[in-house]
Amino acid sequence: MVSIGAFALTIGVLIVIMILFAVCIKLPIYIFFLAVIFILHVVLGSLALAATSKYDGDIYTVVKKVFDDYVNNPQVDDKKTVVDIVQQDFKCCGVEGPQYWNSSGFKQYPTSCYKHNSFDNALYEEGCVSSFEKSIIPKFRAVGGIAIAMTLVEGFGIVYCYILVNSDPEEWQRLLA
């Protein structure tokens, strides 16, 4: 998304320079590039919006795998660190809640399940899957919405450039004078 924006900015600056020096022959090329960027934004925006419903099951699978890897190898510090970071950052406990640790055979909850990182009975009640979804889904929607909104501006640019390409060259000279 950022690379598309940088590409659009570069093309826009080049076209402004061309317009300032009355190089109106290059305007159809700009229309072409703007149309390509328009299509990319529509596709990326649609994919981001579609991802909000598609990845529900995938998020569960990935989070469960991470937690199950830790349960199967609790001695490996890297896996414990990952689980602790996830639980602390997303303020969650277990895959679908604290009961995950009970069903996994753990005698006590990891310290990262507690709100103050100490065994003080203040457990996070929300599971990490739902916490992660609440965090990531709005971001996908925002990216999709912004990409679709940008197509409106690009659409106006395409129409305006088309009008300029089909306008009288004498009018160009009058505008630039």
| CA-to-CA separations, 59 to 52, 63, 71, 108, 170, in angstroms, rounded | 11, 6, 18, 25, 60
Number of domains in the chain: 2
Does 140 fall in a domain?
A: no
Cα 162 to Cα 97: distance, rounded to the nearest angstrom = 57
Does 138 fall in a domain?
A: no
Does 60 lie in the same domain as 27? no
Sites in the chain below the pLDDT cut of 70? 1-2, 4-5, 8, 15, 18-27, 53-57, 117-120, 169, 171-177
Query: Residue 95: its pLDDT value, please?
Result: 92
Does 120 lie in the same domain as 87? yes
Does 144 fall in a domain?
A: no
Does 42 fall in a domain?
A: yes
The model's pLDDT over 39-88, given as tens digits with 9 standing for 90+, comes to 888 888 888 778 776 666 678 888 899 888 888 887 778 888 888 999 99
**Structural domain of residue 68, as residue ranges?**
56-133
What amino acid is encoded at 132 in this protein?
F
Query: Residue 126: its pLDDT value, please?
Result: 93
Does 118 lie in the same domain as 63? yes
Does 63 lie in the same domain as 50? no
